[in-house]
Amino acid sequence: DQQVKQNSPSLSVQEGRISILNCDYTNSMFDYFLWYKKYPAEGPTFLISISSIKDKNEDGRFTVFLNKSAKHLSLHIVPSQPGDSAVYFCAAMDLGSGTYKYIFGTGTRLKVLA
Amino acid sequence: GAGVSQSPSNKVTEKGKDVELRCDPISGHTALYWYRQRLGQGLEFLIYFQGNSAPDKSGLPSDRFSAERTGESVSTLTIQRTQQEDSAVYLCASSPGTAQETQYFGPGTRLLVL
């Protein structure tokens, strides 16, 4: 049972354009979400997070949007740069569960073309 | 201080042998996580520790897998009687301890079971 889904395994975008990475979840109890970026042969690194009390969080070129009714979140990267080429994972957690268990999606490989 | 470190970085073993994977978290981080990433797949939660206790072991794939943590520091993931399907990158992450803290990942241990 995949509670967090990233249905696009890969995405190619031209440098300077917008990259939109999508993530869907099934558990309505999830109330905290994060995006991680992973380069080959390295561990994931934290990118941006959003709490369910918000519908948008922005940090520089990165913006995460949350649509609770649709159980959907997306990461926008504007403008996309070649260095953004990596695998992006979304992760979700139920803060009220009392555990610290993040559920990760399967990842989307972003390729930014120069 | 230093980030999360893992050793060995690569491990090749024969089917049926036991392996131990080590994780050194960031000093002072009370929460520690183990994940597995098989080729072409996402991050699969294995276990997490709060201090030296593991309140959630639900992700361990079988009783061949075990983990311990001592001194609220180093953790060891042990896989007994390894199977070829155990081949994966094993990632460790730590966080300060509150649920909303982001996780800091190590570079992973690449395990290949022949």
Measure the CA–CA gap between B82 and B94, rounded to whole angstroms. 25
- How far away is chain A from the Cα of B45, in angstroms, using its nearest Cα? 7
- How far away is chain B from the Cα of A5, in angstroms, using its nearest Cα? 10
Lowest-confidence segment of A55-64, A69-78, A88-97 by average pLDDT:
A88-97
pLDDT for A1 equals 65
Three-state DSSP at B85 gives helix
- How far away is chain B from the Cα of A2, in angstroms, using its nearest Cα? 10
In the structure, what pLDDT confidence band is assigned to residue A102 with cuts at 50, 70 and 90?
confident
In the structure, what pLDDT confidence band is assigned to residue A88 with cuts at 50, 70 and 90?
very high
pLDDT for B99 equals 59
* % helix, strand, coil for chain B, step of 5: 5, 50, 45
pLDDT, tens only, B14-73:
999 999 999 999 999 999 999 999 887 788 889 989 899 998 788 899 999 999 999 989
Superfamily of domain A4-113: Immunoglobulins (2.60.40.10)
Judged against a pLDDT cut of 60, whether residue B1 lies above it is answered with no
Which A-chain residues 48-87 have CB contacts (< 8 A) with chain B? 49, 51
Task: Find the CB nearest B48 among A45, A101, A107.
Answer: A101
Residue type, A46: F
Measure the CA–CA gap between A24 and A7, rounded to whole angstroms. 8
Three-state DSSP at A97 gives helix
Task: Find the CB nearest A32 among B55, B95, B100.
Answer: B100
Is 3.40.50.1980 the CATH classification of the domain at B5-97?
no
Is A11's Cβ below 8 Å from some Cβ in B? no
Chain B residue with the nearest C-alpha to that of A44: B105
Measure the CA–CA gap between B105 and B79, rounded to whole angstroms. 20
Measure the CA–CA gap between A90 and A21, rounded to whole angstroms. 9
Lowest-confidence segment of A55-59, A96-100, B67-71 by average pLDDT:
A96-100
pLDDT, tens only, A28-41:
999 999 999 999 88
Chain B residue with the nearest C-alpha to that of A108: B42
% of chain A exceeding 70 in pLDDT: 96
Q: Do A105 and B108 touch (CB under 8 A)?
A: no
The domain ranges of chain A are 4-113
Which B-chain residues 21-40 have CB contacts (< 8 A) with chain A? 31, 33, 35
In the structure, what pLDDT confidence band is assigned to residue B98 with cuts at 50, 70 and 90?
low
Which A-chain residues 29-48 have CB contacts (< 8 A) with chain B? 32, 34, 36, 41-46
Q: Which residues of A touch B88 (CB under 8 A)?
A: none
Q: What is the DSSP letter of A82?
A: G
- How far away is chain B from the Cα of A99, in angstroms, using its nearest Cα? 8
